[in-house]
Amino acid sequence: MRHVAVVGGSRGIGRATVMRFAQNGDRVLSTSRSGVHDKDFPPQVVSRAVNMAEVDAPARILDAIEQDLGRLDVLCLVAGVFPACPLSEMTPEALSEILQINLASQILTVSAALPLLKQSEHPRVVFMSSITGPVTGFPGWSHYGATKAGQLGFMRTAALELAPWGITVNAVAPGSVATEGLADMGQDYLEAAAATIPLGRLASTSDIADAVFFLASDSAGYITGQCITVDGGQTLPETAEAVLPLASKD
C-alpha cells in the first residue's frame, strides 16, 4: 500500500485521481480549497482543506501528510484555476493569483515534501499540466498557459536534481476533458471541441487519472522529466478540417 497525496482532489481530474489510487488499495490524502469529503470516497481517503492561493499552503499540506499519512510515496499536484482574462484586461492581481495557485505553491509543495519523498522506496511526483501553454494557445488564457509551461520547465530541472534519490518527476498534459469547469463553457463549446478531436470525444477524467496512475507505478520507474500528452489526438491536425474525413469510418 502506497501513501499518496493528491493536491486538488475534490473535483474533476483530481477526484478521479483520488479514486484511481484508492481503488488500488492505496491510502490517499485529498486536499482542496473547500476540504469537502466526497461521499463516494473509500474509507482510506482523508480530505483536508488547503487553499493553494495562500502562502502557507505548502506547509499546511506537509502537516496534513505527516498527520494523515505518516509517510509519502506519491505526490500528485492537480490543483489549478483557469479564469479567462484577455491581455487587454490583465491586472497584477489576476496574474499574481494564478501564478500562486498553478505554479509557485506547487513548486514550494514539492520542496516541502522532499524529506518525506526521500524516505520512500518508490517516490513519485506527478504534475497536472495541459496542452494549453506547452503546445497550444487559447485566447484569454495567456496567464494560464504561462503557468502550465512553467510547470514543465520546473519539472525538468527538478527531475535532474532529485534523480539521486530515485524520485521521478513527470507530468500529464490533458487536452479537452469533460469536467465541471469545462462544462461551464457551454454545450456549443463542448460539441465544437469534440469535433476537432480525432478520437471523436472529449477525454473523461478517468482517462487522465489512468495516465497519472501509470507515472506513479513501478512500470514507470525509469521515466522522469517527461510529459505525457493525453488528448485523443487533439494536437495532431494542422486544421480543424483535417479531422472531418475521420468522422466517417467508410
Active site residues: 144
Between the alpha carbon of residue 215 and those of residues 119, 183, 218, the distances in Å are: 19, 27, 8
36 sits in the region (left: phi over 0; alpha: psi -120 to 50; else beta) called beta
Identify the three-state secondary structure at position 209: helix
- The answer to whether the CB of 14 falls within 8 A of the CB of 8 is yes
- Alpha carbon distance 249, 209 (integer Å): 29
Give the H or E element holding residue 7: strand 3-7
Of 170, 165, 167, which is closest to residue 155 (Cα–Cα)? Answer: 170
